[in-house]
Amino acid sequence: MSEKVSIGILAVQGAFAEHRAMLDGLGADTFLIRQKKDLEESVQNGGLQGIVLPGGESTVQGKLLRELDLFDGIKSRIEDGMPVYGTCAGLILLAKSISNDSAQHLQTMSIVANRNAYGRQLGSFHTEAQFEGIGEIPMTFIRAPYIDKAYDDVQVLSEVDGKIVAARQKNQLVTAFHPELDGDTRVHEYFLNM
Ligand code: GLN
């Protein structure tokens, strides 16, 4: 990369620090979005080329997005084509609907998410699987969702045991697993190339 890509990482709750460390390591210019002014200042400085929605608790994150008045600003930028990468809870925030929860959040991506899809107790595991365009990568799942249904122009990027765990729709990338925890930078590189 000749010029640094500027990436905002939503930091109201969850695993934002790990994403930041990984993206910094790849030479991106990262900053944390904790409140509305972080988003506005970054846009004014011309410095927002992508956004990361980290793992954590989607219900809490969705509530904070609204309370902190970040919801509309983030949603409209995604709709305007800004690249976004949602992991785990971030996937749930982007989903058009959630099959086992009446909550609805940003709803920008044509996927139906299944929350805590692997069960609450035994829901954390590690595996390796193929990721379209990258190859075999390590995958850590923590009380993860999977994608029940992908429609419109959503491209499925990875499946584990017949369940969709990574997908892309134009400027939107989601993974049900946590590449930021595995020391393998290839999914983050894929995102930076978007
Ligand atoms: N189970 C969480 C939720 O529903 C997601 C878990 C995660 O992000 N690691 O929001």
Task: Tell me the pLDDT band of 44, cut-offs 50, 70 and 90.
Answer: confident
Task: Tell me the pLDDT band of 42, cut-offs 50, 70 and 90.
Answer: confident
Q: Which amino acid is at 188?
A: H
35: Cβ below 6 Å to ligand 1? no
The single-letter DSSP state of residue 180 is G
For 119-148, the DSSP string reads -SSS--EEEEEEETTTEEEEEEESS--EEE
Task: Tell me the pLDDT band of 122, cut-offs 50, 70 and 90.
Answer: low
**91 C-alpha to ligand 1 centroid (Å):** 9
pLDDT reported for residue 1: 44
Which tokens hold the place of 162? 């017949």
Helix (H) or strand (E) holding 88: none
**Closest Cα to atom 8 of ligand 1:** 55
Mutating to test ligand 1, I would choose from 92, 147, 175, 181 the residue with most ligand atoms within 8 A of its C-beta, which is 92
Give catalytic residues, as residue numbers.
Answer: 88, 178, 180
**Closest Cα to atom 5 of ligand 1:** 89
- pTM of structure: 0.96
**44 C-alpha to ligand 1 centroid (Å):** 32
